[in-house]
């Protein structure tokens, strides 16, 4: 299981989600798979953070925890793992 954070190009909006297939789920966000979703509406196509969990209950609990955190806490968490706020999806999917 994965807990992940998506953002837009200018980092003004953060979205926190949980999934069992990170590559598929981020692809769905990037391609506006659900056209009227929050991530599609705010153009949240950039994966800037993710954490891996063996236990789905732990992942869901962490997602709920992060959603309650202040934005500064989320920004610090992202910056610690990804100082330049790069799109981590590029690291997950091999390019041709």
pLDDT in tens, 13-57: 999 999 999 999 999 999 988 888 999 999 999 999 999 999 999
End-to-end CA distance of the chain, in Å? 27
Indicate the domain borders of the chain: 2-92
Contact 15, 65 (CB under 8 A): no
Entry pTM: 0.94
pLDDT at residue 52, rounded to an integer: 97
Q: Tens digit of pLDDT for each residue in 45-91?
A: 999 999 999 999 999 999 999 999 999 999 999 999 999 999 999 89
Measured distance CA(83)–CA(96) in Å, rounded: 26
Q: Any idea which architecture 2-92 has in CATH?
A: 3-Layer(aba) Sandwich (3.40)
Measured distance CA(47)–CA(68) in Å, rounded: 20
Res. 96 pLDDT band, cuts 50 70 90: low
pLDDT at residue 10, rounded to an integer: 95
pLDDT, mean over the chain: 94
Max Cα–Cα distance, the chain, nearest Å? 39
């Amino acid at each position: 299981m994965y807990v992940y954070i998506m953002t837009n190009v200018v980092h003004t909006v953060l979205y926190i989600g949980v999934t069992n297939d990170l590559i598929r789920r981020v692809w769905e966000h990037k391609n506006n798979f659900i056209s009227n979703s929050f991530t599609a509406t705010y153009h949240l196509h950039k994966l800037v953070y993710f954490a891996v969990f063996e236990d789905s209950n732990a992942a869901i609990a962490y997602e709920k925890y992060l959603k309650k955190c202040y934005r500064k806490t989320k920004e610090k968490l992202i910056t610690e793992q990804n100082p330049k706020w790069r799109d981590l999806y590029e690291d997950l999917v091999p390019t041709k």
